[in-house]
């Protein structure tokens, strides 16, 4: 299926606008695209009329331009016919925002749309969805512009069965500084499903990481999905809801009882290289941030640099729980680090792994220690636990450590408490493409993502 028209439309028709109710979802979509995106937009409603100064076309075939994307927000009963009109008028693709289909017991309406679309090889997203957000190109979410939180433009594509979860994850991405290439809410996924989008995004030049929120796959579709994900040259992250099996069906074999829906889901993902299951939202955002920064995989030998022994100990525990190793440093390395520390730190620092530089450390001590760990082969990823409240630490440290990682080519992950006061330190990392987590656990999860992803 050709999906380019969906993601980079030059002309859009919004079908179902209201001339009497400006808060109608179709109107919100119409105005938003009209005012903010480089797209030619047309409004459609069978009654015609006008919307502010713009004409409302009674039927899509009246529009004097070829339409790349039709956004349909009309009542469910009318939608199958509207879809047929679109196909007749040579529209290239559609997003069906309207609800009231399979999710509301009207599988008949949905099946009719699917049959029409399949025959014409016509791609549509939905029904019962928010549609697509592509930074600077298109936004079909029926949420007023002032209410939406949009992450920076970046390289992570996010696909969600639930529109609400998608919008929420966009807020989390914004908070964590994770950039987005595309966000798609697929709703009932009657036509375009996860597999279609995976195949499209695998070749999308703007996307390096593909993340999914999945409630469930259709019959045998999970199998096709993991096989495609294994072949995909980009890391694929999946967060699954519905892990606990409510209403366990009666099963007559031990195997069917133990290997429930979620157990099978999780096992099939774990078996295939290139797919990483995120167990919760923290894992999802941490994995996305880390894989968006680094397209390398590591064996999982972590060097930890900290300004407090407690932070180091918690990080070691988290590494151990994730199956990462924190190897002991050689004597020569320890001496090399210690010899170059500032005089007041040299005598009190505990230089092992984790290297505890203590609360007296200054920027130069961190830069030197991180640099040394970045150059030894025993360590393949460095986690820096930074406590910006220490008097010797300045806001410059983020940018300085970032350049150490860039020069040595070794992945660096930072932990910095996320409050406005420390924003400049955080941005020193983020703007240089170094992932920063607001929690020690999150920083360790970022390293986990690199270990669990395959080399590509």
Partner 1 sequence: MVKKEILTILETSEQWGWVLEPDAKRIFSLDGFDVPKFDVAKAPGDVRRIGTKIGYPVVAKIVSPDVLHKSDVHGVAVGVNSDTNLQNVFERFSAIEGFEGMLVEEMISGTELIFGAKYDYQFGPMILLGFGGTGVEIYKDVSLRMAPIGMNDVDSMIHGLKAKKLLEGYRGAEPINMQALKRSLILFSGFVMKLKDRIESIDLNPVICTPKRCVIADARIILKTSK
DSSP 171-231: HHHHHHT--EEEEEE-TT-SSS-HHHHHHHHHT-TT-SEEEEEES---TTHHHHHHHHHHH
By beta-carbon proximity to partner 1, the closer residue of 258 and 332 is 258
Partnered with residue 383 across adjacent β-strands are: 304, 413
Cβ-proximal residues to 415 (8 Å cutoff; 6+ apart), any chain: 311, 315, 383, 384, 385, 386, 436, 437, 438, 439, 440, 442, 443
Closest by Cα among 282, 294, 293 to 169 = 282
By beta-carbon proximity to partner 1, the closer residue of 21 and 257 is 257
By beta-carbon proximity to partner 1, the closer residue of 271 and 320 is 271
By beta-carbon proximity to partner 1, the closer residue of 42 and 217 is 217
Partnered with residue 12 across adjacent β-strands are: 41, 69
Q: How many CA atoms lie within 13 A of 254 on its CB side?
A: 0
By beta-carbon proximity to partner 1, the closer residue of 271 and 280 is 271
Smallest gap from Cβ 238 to partner 1, in A, equals 12
Residues that bind partner 1 (CB under 8 A): 216-223, 226, 251-259, 261, 263-265, 267-268, 271-272
Closest by Cα among 58, 63, 69 to 17 = 58
**Is residue 443 within a helix (H) or strand (E), and if so which, with residue range?**
helix 440-452
Block residue for tokens 């987590």? 437
By beta-carbon proximity to partner 1, the closer residue of 182 and 189 is 189
DSSP category for residue 138: E
Please state, in angstroms and as integers, the Cα–Cα distance from residue 111 to each residue in 72, 85, 88, 331, 433, following that order: 17, 17, 19, 69, 45
Closest by Cα among 18, 25, 68, 23 to 48 = 18
Q: What is the CA radius of gyration of the chain?
A: 26
By beta-carbon proximity to partner 1, the closer residue of 14 and 269 is 269
By beta-carbon proximity to partner 1, the closer residue of 208 and 240 is 240
Please state, in angstroms and as integers, the Cα–Cα distance from residue 335 to each residue in 8, 298, 332, 367, 378, following that order: 56, 26, 5, 16, 16
Smallest gap from Cβ 267 to partner 1, in A, equals 4
Smallest gap from Cβ 168 to partner 1, in A, equals 25
DSSP H helices, 232-349, are: 254-258, 261-271, 281-293, 309-321, 331-339, 343-346
Cα–Cα distance between 416 and 439 in angstroms, integer? 7
Q: Is 163 left (phi over 0), alpha (psi -120 to 50) or beta?
A: alpha
By beta-carbon proximity to partner 1, the closer residue of 221 and 336 is 221
Closest by Cα among 353, 346, 384 to 367 = 384
Say how many C-beta atoms besides its own lie within 10 A of residue 77's C-beta.
11
By beta-carbon proximity to partner 1, the closer residue of 230 and 350 is 230
Smallest gap from Cβ 405 to partner 1, in A, equals 33
By beta-carbon proximity to partner 1, the closer residue of 149 and 256 is 256
By beta-carbon proximity to partner 1, the closer residue of 136 and 255 is 255
Joined together, the tokens standing for residue 290 give 């880390």
Block residue for tokens 């007296």? 360
């Amino acid at each position: 299926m050709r999906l380019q028209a969906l993601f980079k439309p030059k002309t859009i028709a919004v079908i179902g606008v209201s001339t009497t109710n400006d808060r109608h979802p179709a109107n919100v979509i119409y105005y938003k695209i009209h005012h903010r995106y480089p797209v030619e937009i047309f409004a459609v409603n069978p009654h015609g009329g006008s919307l502010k100064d713009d004409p409302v076309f009674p039927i899509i075939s009246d529009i004097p331009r070829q339409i790349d994307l039709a956004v349909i927000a009309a009542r469910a009963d009318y939608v199958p016919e509207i879809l047929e009109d679109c196909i007749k008028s040579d529209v290239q693709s559609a997003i069906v925002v309207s609800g009231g289909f399979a999710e509301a017991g009207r599988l008949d309406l949905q099946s009719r749309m699917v049959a029409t679309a399949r025959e014409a090889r016509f791609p549509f997203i939905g029904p019962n969805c928010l549609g697509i957000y592509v930074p600077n190109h298109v936004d079909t979410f029926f949420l007023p512009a002032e209410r939406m939180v949009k992450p920076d433009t970046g390289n992570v594509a996010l696909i969600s069965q639930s529109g609400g979860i998608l919008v929420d994850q966009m807020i989390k991405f914004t908070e964590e500084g994770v950039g987005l290439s595309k966000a798609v809410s697929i709703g009932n996924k009657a036509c375009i499903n996860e597999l279609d989008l995976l195949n499209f995004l695998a070749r999308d030049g703007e996307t390096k990481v593909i993340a999914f929120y999945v409630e469930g796959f259709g019959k045998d579709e999970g199998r096709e999905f993991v096989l495609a994900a294994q072949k995909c040259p980009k890391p694929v992250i999946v967060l699954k809801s519905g892990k606990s099996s409510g209403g366990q069906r009666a099963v007559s074999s031990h195997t069917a009882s133990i290997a429930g829906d979620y157990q099978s889901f999780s096992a099939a993902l774990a078996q295939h290289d290139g797919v990483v299951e995120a167990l919760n939202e923290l894992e999802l955002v941490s994995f996305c941030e880390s894989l968006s920064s680094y397209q390398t995989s590591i064996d999982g030998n972590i060097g930890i640099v900290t300004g407090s022994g407690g932070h180091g100990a918690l990080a070691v525990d988290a590494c151990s729980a994730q199956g990462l190793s924190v190897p002991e440093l050689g004597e020569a390395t320890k001496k090399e680090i210690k010899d170059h520390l500032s005089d007041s730190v040299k005598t009190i620092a505990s230089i092992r792994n984790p290297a505890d530089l203590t609360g007296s450390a200054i920027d130069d001590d961190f830069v030197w220690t991180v640099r040394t760990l970045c150059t030894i082969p025993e360590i393949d990823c460095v986690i820096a636990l930074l406590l910006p409240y220490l008097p010797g630490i300045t806001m410059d440290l983020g940018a300085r450590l970032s350049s150490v990682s860039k020069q040595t080519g070794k992945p660096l992950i930072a932990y910095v408490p996320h409050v406005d006061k420390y924003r400049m330190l955080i941005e020193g990392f983020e703007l240089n493409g170094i992932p920063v987590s607001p929690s020690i656990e999150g920083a360790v999860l970022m390293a986990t993502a690199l270990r669990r992803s395959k080399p590509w």
